[in-house]
Amino acid sequence: MKILLVGNGAREHIIAQKLKDSPQSIELFCFASSNNPGIINLAQGYKVGDFSNENIISYAKENNVDFVFVGPESPLEKGLVDDLEKVNIKSVGPYMELAQLETSKSFARQLFKEYNIPVNPEFKIFESMDGVEEWLLYLEENFVIKPDGLTGGKGVQVSGDHFQTMNEGMALISKLIENGTRVIIEEKLIGQEFSLMSFSDGEHLVHMPCAQDNKRALAGDTGPNTGGMGSYSFSDGSMPFISDKELKDGQEINLKVMKALKEKTGKPYRGILYGNFIATKKGLKIIEYNARLGDPEAMNVLSVFKSDFVEVCLGIIEGNLNEKKVEFENKATVCKYAVPQGYPEDPIKDETINVDSIDTSKVDIYYAAVDKREDGIYLTGSRAVAIVAKHEDIYEAERLAEEEINNIIGPVIHREDIGKKKLIEKRIEMMNKLKE
């Protein structure tokens, strides 16, 4: 079987690894925007180019692939899956219309409203400043500003966090509106966030373990938002700050969303449904949905995935996911990203890193924003290398990941608090207080 993987981050590196781990014999091809040394080692064919549908489809046809696995969101937004279907190539990844669940925050909020899925905060969508002030006053100045489009996790601004006063908020909104951007202004939710991803064939879902990403750049949840500095998952597949009922609710919500999408568009959602939930005093709400695997959460869930990943992909494509065996190990995982100094605002680029001293019997290494050149592995300005450890005990997994990430030589930094007892207990305590 021939499979084309689109993308070249750490998420795609672990996807490539899982495809290659399949007992079925596969030939792997990758369409990438830079040389990921990990994927290059696993793939029979590797092409670097612009992620246009035309370029990707021509590479898929050239290699006569059986299906395409779309890693990141941008090709989904451009309708890659729809265009591949026109030339009879199947994909793991949703059609453009369905990917709006991620690519348009207003589409997602309106879908939940229309289908009575009670996961929305109070929200309103604005295309001019008319009524903005009244809305902010109604929300009692606790609000979140979201541009309506893909922002790489860096476009959302939260009151009390990214800005302090109502006037500062008004100025940010007015700048977006002046640039012609549609803006969603919503109630600021208080609680603990987690990711619950499910494989979807359009009719059936298979849920993955939950994971918690840590988006702020610096220890103690300070600094700007990033794509995600690291994440962890627990051996029971849940989160220590949610109840069994909340876990079930989350799984049920993913199912309702899949069904709502089918009803609204008439099309099956084939790919990964990724709910970014927040557990609040009033139950689970949705921060956003993504239409792909999370990065870094893919490293958590796929590290404990122990079935045949190719079979899961075929189940997604063929609509018989319910007949596939999908099992996860009962182990905790900790993933920490090494990022260039200065990330995300002013990252060091074009300098090399060396990972040769990492003990790969203790952790796994997944390459992200790096470029392998003749004389070394170069930083390209975003999250560079993910270090992943798994263990029955999450704190032991953290210790291993922390020990080994410190063996990277080069101008990179990481968050040492991710997965430590202090941070996790702080989150549990916050939730306990909230529910009092």
294 is an interface residue for ligand GLY by CB under 6 A: yes
- Residue 83 partner contact from ligand AMP, ligand GLY, none using kind-dependent CB cut-offs of 5 to 8 Å: none
From the list 252, 212, 207, the residue with the least C-alpha distance to 228 is 212
Region of 332 please: left (phi>0), alpha (psi -120 to 50) or beta: beta
Distance between CA atoms of residues 33 and 39, nearest Å: 12
- Determine the 3-state secondary structure of 130 from DSSP: coil
Compose the 192-221 pattern: x for residues touching ligand AMP by CB under 6 A, - for all others: -x---------------------x------
Among 8, 91, 159, 225, binds ligand AMP (CB under 6 A): 225
- Residue 192 partner contact from ligand AMP, ligand GLY, none using kind-dependent CB cut-offs of 5 to 8 Å: none
Compose the 130-169 pattern: x for residues touching ligand GLY by CB under 6 A, - for all others: -----------------------x----------------
From the list 218, 207, 211, 174, the residue with the least C-alpha distance to 339 is 218
Cβ neighbours of residue 54 closer than 8 Å, sequence gap 6 or more = none
* Helix (H), strand (E) at residue 276: strand 271-280
From the list 238, 237, 232, the residue with the least C-alpha distance to 389 is 232
- Residue 379 partner contact from ligand AMP, ligand GLY, none using kind-dependent CB cut-offs of 5 to 8 Å: none
CB of 219 to ligand GLY, least distance (A): 18
CB of 44 to ligand GLY, least distance (A): 28
Tokens 């619950």 -> residue: 196
111 is an interface residue for ligand AMP by CB under 6 A: no
Among 145, 189, 196, 431, binds ligand AMP (CB under 6 A): 189
Residues 279-338 that bind ligand AMP (CB under 6 A): 287-288
From the list 205, 318, 339, the residue with the least C-alpha distance to 261 is 205
Nearer to ligand AMP, 48 or 190 (CB): 190
**How are beta strands 192-200 and 271-280 bridged, if at all?**
antiparallel
Distance between CA atoms of residues 309 and 208, nearest Å: 13
Cis peptide before 344 (omega within 30 of 0): yes
188 is an interface residue for ligand AMP by CB under 6 A: yes
CB of 119 to ligand AMP, least distance (A): 11
Residues that bind ligand GLY (CB under 6 A): 153, 213, 228, 290, 294-295, 297
Query: Which residues form the interface with ligand AMP (CB under 6 A)?
Result: 121, 144, 153, 156, 158, 186, 188-189, 193, 215, 225, 276, 287-288
